[in-house]
Structure 1
């Protein structure tokens, strides 16, 4: 049985002009005696239970999940250098400036990949096959489209630096990838390993990032894997927890803690870091859901009731805004079935009630934002 404090991450091997890392297998039984780690683990597990219970009480939770997904895609892609913000993510491509369209496509590919993967869990276990399908969607028609989408790499990659010789970190050679990822899969499904779910996925994520099995998109797929894990193991019944925002805000610590496992075998510190992230992110998600419920109640009980005979169609539009908080007149016409003239009048009603705010200042292609709801996901 492996004590976490004596964890052996692997060894660096030298080849022509550079060192690469050979990770040890991680699918084994574990124990630990660190009291702080135990306390954080218990707190993270309880907080996820609280989030899951709260989410199950929220009607129309799937509507709100799409905004969580949009934010996750935006932030996870931001870590990799894209410049799209969440407002742009939710707009149609033709409204995005040409110099930002590649970034917009990458983020929207991530949204599609995430949604497909979550739906894929109904038929497939969390596995290499599922992650490869997500990776193929992620790289479709974007800058990484020539980097073996949907396939594990067959050549050496590296992290940081301009070449293998000045890289910050060089993952294992391509011939080791398949076996190493298989070991990660085995750990994720090994209920006898002794690690609670919150620690098991933290270890699996570390190992995935260390293996770096794809030529591109490893960070995004590795972070996606965390959300998929909690849903696939029924820790969460709905995908309402995404850690990318915590990782992005603590980016230096994220990379430093990953590296210290490889160089100093300090797995315990990495686990503590992730557990803190789970606790903070779960609490933020709970707070966000509470705010959403309050906003929805205020709109339905205090605002749209003032619209008299329009209340039914107003309810239809307000429900839609929780799914799509940036709308054009065409969206309103389609979702309500109103004529364009009547749809404009309804939008004007929503502006007067403080529900919608016009954001473009243009006469044509005017966009309206459900600002109070949107602001929950911007913080």
Structure 2
């Protein structure tokens, strides 16, 4: 990778009044020589920790209960990188309980969740491809900010990153005339049979996609979303339990600087090492979260034993809460088949056992959160 050439700058509109330079990345689909000792060491560590996480996830009973929360956690973190302010608890509230000034943020998070779920389902019949990118991007931007920026369609105009105008832009991606060739190359590279480790391929694909910036909006979110999809397709993950957005959010400046450094000085090794270190850190955190979930689950199931005959209904409620940790009495009533008064009493019992906590401070239309469980995802 020491001979990696990221690309070159091209001049567009050779008229002094409108002239600008965009970056045209070199095509990816070729052979690479991995000869950096530090890179190979981190690659080995990343492959090992990711394998351990995947194996651990496969051994957890009823892991589907917890996957939705992993996806919500990813959607909140990825959206925050783009400037939204919604936190995990707000993201899990019903739309009616969201303040008007942050409802757009809430909508973007929920679109991300739906886009991720649909993409995972679509992956069963559609491979990683431009087609899947467009379909997922359309879902991501539909009905929220960015809905007027051609959801699901490649841009047909120049975009830029940073700056009030193209003249003050921090980075100008390739002109739209190059998009079809670049994205076809991106797709071919992912599916080629060259002897390139999958995690190196994945890191190169993410760098290249963010450099191409093929859509008018949502490029960061869709690029991060596809990291998980590619890990699933490559069979490095059997269930979607690893997401890098929290690592990128925590190291936001380093994330953008690492991408910039490739374009500016061809230093791809530092980007690959940064990306792989993110895999290592995130895989360890995700495994710890799963371990803590199992400890908490066992503790909660021990607490409800004292409820006697109602313990069975409490267990059904707990199973629901692992998927949706914010609940109201009406939902408990639907789950349990009990009357309203009995459901209300069950909620009181769960509050008394310090499993649930009321979060509205109201006497009516109250909402309760399983805070201990939610906190496991907030502190990842």
Encode CA deviations 1:102-138: one digit per residue, 9 max, x unaligned. Answer: 1111111010001000111111101111111111111
Cα distance in 2 for residues equivalent to 1:309 and 1:130 = 49
Q: Secondary structure at the match of 2:2?
A: helix
> What displacement does 1:183 show?
0.8
> What displacement does 1:304 show?
1.1
- C-alpha RMSD over aligned residues: 0.9
Q: Secondary structure at the match of 1:237?
A: coil
2:76 to 74, 77, 94: 74
The answer to whether residue 192 in structure 2 is matched with residue 190 in structure 1 is yes
Counterpart in the other structure of 1:306:
306
Counterpart in the other structure of 2:4:
7
> What displacement does 1:37 show?
0.3
TM-score by length of 2: 0.97
Cα distance in 2 for residues equivalent to 1:42 and 1:309 = 52
Cα distance in 2 for residues equivalent to 1:195 and 1:333 = 54
More displaced, 182-191 or 37-46? 182-191
Cα distance in 2 for residues equivalent to 1:128 and 1:343 = 49
2:133 to 126, 131, 148: 131
> What displacement does 1:207 show?
0.2
> What displacement does 1:142 show?
1.1
> What displacement does 1:17 show?
2.8
**1:1-379 to 2 correspondences below 5 Å:** 4-15=1-12, 16-192=18-194, 194-300=195-301, 302-379=302-379
Q: Secondary structure at the match of 1:124?
A: coil
- Unaligned 5+ segments in structure 2 are 13-17
> What displacement does 1:191 show?
3.1
Q: Secondary structure at the match of 2:93?
A: coil
More displaced, 329-338 or 291-300? 329-338
> What displacement does 1:262 show?
0.5
Q: Secondary structure at the match of 1:126?
A: coil
Aligned length: 374
Cα distance in 1 for residues equivalent to 2:134 and 2:65 = 27
- Unaligned 5+ segments in structure 1 are none
Counterpart in the other structure of 2:15:
none
Cα distance in 1 for residues equivalent to 2:344 and 2:193 = 56
> What displacement does 1:202 show?
0.5
Cα distance in 2 for residues equivalent to 1:71 and 1:134 = 19
Cα distance in 1 for residues equivalent to 2:364 and 2:192 = 57
> What displacement does 1:336 show?
1.8
> What displacement does 1:342 show?
1.0
